[in-house]
Structures are given as C-alpha cells and as structure tokens.
Structure 1
Amino acid sequence: MISFIAPRALAWRLPTIVLGISGLRLERGTRYLPVRVLLFGMMTALYYLMTPLLMSPAIATGYAAVVWVSYYGGLSLMLAGPGRTVLVKRFGEDRAYALYEVGLGLLFMNQAFAQAVVIHAHGDTLPGAVPVWATCTAGAALMAVGTFYKLWAASSTGLDTYYCRDMFLGRPLSHTSELVISGPYRHVRNPMYSVGNLPAYGWALWSRSMEGLAVAALFQAGIYLFYHLCERPFIQRTYHRDPTKP
C-alpha cells in the first residue's frame, strides 16, 4: 500500500505513478525520456490552447466521441489485433513497446481531457431540485476515494501492467505467471476499472453536469468492453488464475 512505502521512496514513487497514469513515464530510463517529456509538454500546451474552442457543447461532445473510438478501438486493435505483431516485426520488441507506450500515454491524456471538457461544456445541467451541497459532498468523496484506489492499484501492479505490457509482449511479466492479488485486488477484482473511475463521476457531480455523468459512464463501459473482449481472454490463456473467479 502506498502509505507504507518509506518516505524517501514515496517522494519519488508517488509523483512517478501520478505522471505515469497521466501519460508520462519517468521510470523507464533515459533513452526515450526527452521524447516523452517533449510530447507530454506539447500535448499539455495544446490542451491549453484548445480549451476555449472545446467549450462549445457540440464540439466537446464530438471530441469525446472521437477520443472514445480512438482509445478503446485503437487499444483493442493494437493488443488483440495485428498491431503489436507488425510493430515488433518492424522495430524489435523493445523499440516497438516504447513506441506503443508513448502512443498509449497520449491516449490516456486525451481520454481524461475529453471527459473534462464535456463536464465543463455541459456544466450545471442537473435538476435544480438536487441540492448543491449534496453534489459537492458526493463529488468530493468520489474523487478522493477513486484517486486513492487508482494510485494504490497502479502502485500494487506497477506501471508496466497499467500500460498492458504483458498483453503487448504476449506473455506474463512475472516468472510466477500469476496475477497480482495484493493491495486493492484483495477487495475488488478490477479496482482500476471500477473504483478507479469514480473521480470522473465525482467531477461531474461537483460541476453538476448530467452529460458529464453520462460520458463518465460511457468511458467506463468502454474499458469494461475492452476487458471482456480483449484482456480477460488473454489472462485466461496466460495466467494460472481465472479472472472470472474472486
């Protein structure tokens, strides 16, 4: 659990995990680090410049739809289709994974940003009968719990698992060939996909956005669709434990 890590290790590990799940991996060595940092910075600047344009509800919704298809469709084609095979054949395993990892990091950034712009473009659309204090309290609680669980889960499995490195390579990352069952995985089967998605709902509630709640649900449905169609079959083939059982 994150809170039990030694303070000096936590001072490095926690920011690394936060940036890693946001799309920038700092712990992967220095070979591609300048490219990762440059792309992360350019994308962040682009988001800043694009935000005024995306405040139109129609444009924000269209952008979220494009990101949804690109993220879940692209990830599925890469990991369960011919994408990874083509990359590995062309660039070799290490360089192919590095390219895939940078691309996936950009998708991570876009899916979070897409939900954020929809929430802000469609803000204050909940019925007036719903008290503001209730939505703010519930929203803050969901954001706090979801963020904690997502960081805890990413810390327990490692960022390689967060980036589906085992699926990309087609083999387990551990010599034991077993799934992680420690940390939050003792309580929840898929903490990243379930509790880890609560911050999006929390933000939507905080902003009183009905459309934001709907988009959060659609993005969560997308990751579960990916899990059932792509990830779970891989786990059943590769690891000893059946992911359908507690």
Structure 2
Amino acid sequence: MHTITTARAGTWRLPVILLGISGLRLDRGTRYRPARLLLFALTAALYYLLTPILTTPAVATAYAGTVWLLYYGGLCLTLGGPVRTALIARFGEDRAYALYEVALGLLFMNQGFAQAVVIHAHGNSLPAAIPSWAAYVTGAALMAVGTFYKVWAARTAGLDTYYCRDMFTGRPLTDASELVAAGPYRHLRNPMYGAGNLHAYGWALWSGSLAGLAFAAAFQAGIYLFYHLCERPFIQRAYVRR
C-alpha cells in the first residue's frame, strides 16, 4: 500500500473495512452491490465444496502457486502494463474500474484461502525442536499485530487506495499538496506490506506449518516486488514529483 496517505482518507466502519480487505467492497454505492454480494457468496460456497480436494498437499501447493502468479502477475500487467488502458478504452473509466475491482477482490479472497489450504495441508510440520507452546504464543501475537496493522492502514489510506484506484485511473486521488503521513504511516514506511502481513506468519506458526511460513514469505515478497516494479514508480511520478 502507498507509503503516502491523504488527509481525506476513508474512515469506514470496521465491518466494511474487514469485508473490503477480504475482497468485498460495500462502500461504493448500490449499483453493483447485489452482484458483488452474489459473487462473494458463490465463491465462498465453491471454496467450501472444493475444500476436501484443495487441502490435499499437492493440490494446495499448486493452487497457492497459481494464485501467486495470477495475483502479482495480474497486478503488474494491469496496473503497470496496457491492460488498464485497454479496459478503459473498451468500457469507460467507471465501468472498467468496477470490473477490475471485482477481479481484484476475487484475488484477495483467493490469496487468503490459498494460504489457508496450504497451512491445513501442511500442518504440524515445524521442527520438533520448536515447543508447541512457543508456536502458539508467537503465532497468536503475530496474528493480532498483523491484523491490527492491516486494518489500521486500510482505514487510514481508504479502500480506494487499498484497491489502487489511482494507479488504475493513472492519476492521483488527491492534490499532492494535501498529502500527509497519518495513522501507522507516521512511524512505518509501508505498514500494509510490512507489519500488515505478520498475521500470515502467525497463522502458519499457530498451525505448525512450515510450508505456510514459506508461502507467507512468498506472498509478502510478491507484493514488495509489485511495489518496487509498479507502485513506487507511479507514486514518484504522480505524487512526489508534482
């Protein structure tokens, strides 16, 4: 998430923020809300039906790897390549962003579920030298800290920033003169991608999953790769140099 936040960042209620970072936006009017709710429910039902298959070790690993490629490859191709301009030319900016937003929300859902099935499929695989109580305590602490920072950062920056709306439209969300450091951005350079991802490591530790720790690191490395290749150059171009 951007290292710069605005004084007018969204202050949505906690349930809306939690659903938003999970893939379902309910803060952008009512036009597409029924379709979003239906798609969210159908996806959750599909996850439930496919859980016995997805939680087998080989399938879980392949699924998580596929999600990694679609998520970070899709973000880079869309926001750092020609896909967004083609969508805008075809559908117009508002409709194109709505389609992108739904697709990104599905990727958010799949990212979380992919890590969940990997942790389930490869549970109890930590070295025996690590006491179970230490894994529980450390895991619980990391989950609490990571969730707190992710929600705090998303609330501070706003869900439009969380979904990279400025990158999709190709212009800043606000005037550069109004940018301020706020919330967790006052003391952390990038709390969303840093501290905000600690919950994934905590969940893996709690479940004793060595593969879960590896995939948590892979997904965090992927978002930093996207940040350095696509997001940071946009911030420099659209905000800092204005």
Equivalents in 2 of 1:180, 1:190: separation in Å?
14
Partner amino acid, structure 2, of 1:18: L
Equivalents in 1 of 2:98, 2:191: separation in Å?
26
3-state SS of 1:51 partner = helix
Q: What is the RMSD of the two structures over their aligned residues, measured on CA atoms?
A: 1.6
Off by >2 Å, runs of 4+ in structure 1: 175-180
Q: CA deviation at 1:179?
A: 4.6
Provide structure 2 residue ranges, at least 5 long, that are not aligned to the other structure: 1-10
Cα-to-partner distance string for 1:86-118 (whole Å, 9 max, x where unaligned): 110011110010000000000000011001100
User: Aligned runs of 1:88-237 on 2, under 5 Å?
Assistant: 88-176=88-176, 179-237=179-237
Q: Partner of 2:5 in structure 1?
A: none
Cα-to-partner distance string for 1:121-178 (whole Å, 9 max, x where unaligned): 0000001121011000000000000000000000000000000000001111012355
3-state SS of 1:130 partner = coil
Cα-to-partner distance string for 1:51-81 (whole Å, 9 max, x where unaligned): 1101211110000000000000001100010
TM-score by length of 1: 0.92
> Do 1:67 and 1:111's aligned partners in 2 also have CA atoms closer than 8 Å?
yes
Percent sequence identity over aligned pairs: 74
Partner amino acid, structure 2, of 1:216: A
Provide structure 1 residue ranges, at least 5 long, that are not aligned to the other structure: 1-9
Q: Partner of 2:57 in structure 1?
A: 57
Q: CA deviation at 1:210?
A: 0.5
> Do 2:176 and 2:240's aligned partners in 1 also have CA atoms closer than 8 Å?
no
Equivalents in 2 of 1:198, 1:77: separation in Å?
27
Cα-to-partner distance string for 1:174-233 (whole Å, 9 max, x where unaligned): 123555510000111111100010010000000000010000000000000000000000
Partner amino acid, structure 2, of 1:34: P
Q: Partner of 1:86 in structure 2?
A: 86
> Do 1:143 and 1:198's aligned partners in 2 also have CA atoms closer than 8 Å?
yes
TM-score by length of 2: 0.93
Bigger relative contact order, structure 1 or 2 (CA pairs below 8 A, ≥6 apart): 2
Cα distance change, pair 209–180 in 1 and its aligned pair in 2 (3 A): farther
Q: CA deviation at 1:241?
A: 7.1
Q: CA deviation at 1:240?
A: 2.1
